[in-house]
Amino acid sequence: MKLVFVLMFHIVLAGSQAQIRVRCSSDVSRPIQLQDGDQLSLRTDVVIPIVFHVVWHEDEENITDQQIRSQVEILNGAFASGTQASTAILDIFKDYAAKPGLRFCLADRDPEGVPTDGILRRYAEEAFLADKKVRGRTSIFYDEFGGSNAWDPSRYINVWIAVSNRFAGYATFPGEVDFPEEEGIIIDPSYIGNIGSAQQNRPFHQGKTLVHEMGHYFGLRHIWGSFNNPNCADDDGIEDTPPQAQAYSGCPFGTMISCNSPDMYQNHMDFTDDNCSLFFTIGQADKIQSVLKQYRPGLLEQDICTPKTNADPPISISYGIGAKLVHLTNLGDQILQGQLRIIDLKGSIHYEQRKTLIDQIYIPVEYLATGVYIIQFYNEQLLALKKIIIY
């Protein structure tokens, strides 16, 4: 039986020269050593905070909050227990399908405890920062090189959304990263979620690339083994994933065989299209839990996903176009103290002061250039946000 081509790639046009961009460039250089009996004993899902760094150069790379939130839902569909398994899983593999018992959320507090929506935005003066190195460091991971600094990787999963000329997705394996500041995942904006620009990226329009990369982040290899020499003698180290000679692309149908056994091409760690990437196995779920406990234990100790903001904060924020004033009104009967901040969509701070809101305050903003800005008023208990457009 003829097998499908080993490496999924895309042709990316850069000027007049075509370049090959792989869908995933993650590979492990050495086996991950795990101690026996190091699996978690999960009664409920572990809730893990994610922070997304949107590092954009062209406007279309600055994807919406809604597109990012749709990706979080997709991750939970793949990793969280209690979510329904796909009915399209081949009958021979249905008994192997499992959920790792992880649930993801957008972090609601930054490392200093300041309320946040878990989405950072940075305008990049240069394109392809994910491909550029300065003094041995990859630029996208550092503010000083035009990118965005990681939040403490022992407490958050950092995901950088950015365009690369070389890959659509990349993740650091446990224990493999040279610099802790570079721990995390990079993914192309058009591969995020299932709305917005993702809909123009079929057949990779259902957010499965980040599911795949998150598998790498928790220690899973490609189901066929190594990039360099895929063959039946190589393996991913998981007992219930059968040996497979090479990767699959597209969306095969029915039973496909190599290495004298059916190939698990619907597994999230293969390279099939998004609508054919359907499940992890019991062995992979166990491996993810073991890696989380041994290599990423700090993620188990966070309550950063426990919202401490009011669903309906007692503050009204408005903008008077004619007078160019931001107007904040206390709608409650208690004096509010908090930080007032004005930022633009590039993440630059244009105003920041501690304020006491008794009744109402006015902030002149005639100095702001034309553009879109976010007004934030926050403290440990609440977060009020307002988007304004200055003409």
Domain termination site, one of 260, 275, 301: 301
Same domain as 349, residue 258: no
Q: 157: which 2 tokens?
A: 């999963």
Same domain as 75, residue 109: yes
Same domain as 376, residue 277: no
Domain termination site, one of 301, 327, 344: 301
Same domain as 177, residue 326: no
pTM for the model = 0.76
Same domain as 328, residue 280: no
Amino acid at the residue 290: S
What pLDDT is attached to residue 135? 94
Instruction: Check whether the bond before 314 is cis (ω within 30° of 0).
Output: no
CATH number at residue 338: 2.60.40.3080
Same domain as 341, residue 251: no
| Residues spanned by the domain of 365 | 315-390
Measured distance CA(23)–CA(330) in Å, rounded:
50
Same domain as 293, residue 202: yes
The gap from C-alpha 175 to its chain's centroid, in whole angstroms, comes to 19
Same domain as 13, residue 139: yes
Cβ neighbours of residue 238 closer than 8 Å, sequence gap 6 or more: 220, 281, 283, 284, 287
CA angle 201–206–211, rounded 5-degree value: 115
Amino acid at the residue 315: I
Same domain as 295, residue 328: no
Same domain as 361, residue 282: no
Our count of domains for the chain comes to 2
Domain-located, residue 306: no
Measured distance CA(295)–CA(174) in Å, rounded:
6
Same domain as 85, residue 46: yes
Per the DSSP assignment, residues forming a β-bridge with 2 are none
- Tell me which of 61, 182, 183, 213 is the catalytic residue: 213
Task: Tell me whether residue 112 is one of the annotated catalytic residues.
Answer: no
Measured distance CA(168)–CA(298) in Å, rounded:
28
**Contact yes or no for 157/184 (Cβ under 8 A):** yes
Domain termination site, one of 301, 330, 364: 301
Please list the pLDDT of the chain residue by residue as tens digits (391 residues): 222 333 333 333 333 333 446 778 766 555 565 555 555 555 568 999 999 999 999 999 999 999 999 999 999 999 998 777 888 999 999 999 999 999 999 998 889 888 788 999 999 999 999 999 999 999 999 999 999 999 999 999 999 999 999 999 999 999 888 999 999 999 999 999 999 999 999 999 999 999 999 999 999 999 998 876 678 888 899 999 999 998 999 999 999 999 999 999 999 999 999 999 999 999 999 999 999 999 999 998 877 775 444 457 789 999 987 778 999 999 998 999 988 989 887 667 899 899 999 999 999 999 999 888 889 888 767 778 888 888 8
Domain-located, residue 249: yes
CATH number at residue 24: 3.40.390.10
Domain-located, residue 45: yes
Same domain as 382, residue 294: no
Buried/exposed 94-119: b ≥16 CB within 10 Å, e otherwise = eebbbbbbbbbbbbbbbeeeebbbbb
Domain-located, residue 90: yes
Beta strand spans in 57-156 (E): 97-98, 102-106, 119-123, 133-134, 137-138
Measured distance CA(244)–CA(259) in Å, rounded:
6
Q: 256: which 2 tokens?
A: 């496909």
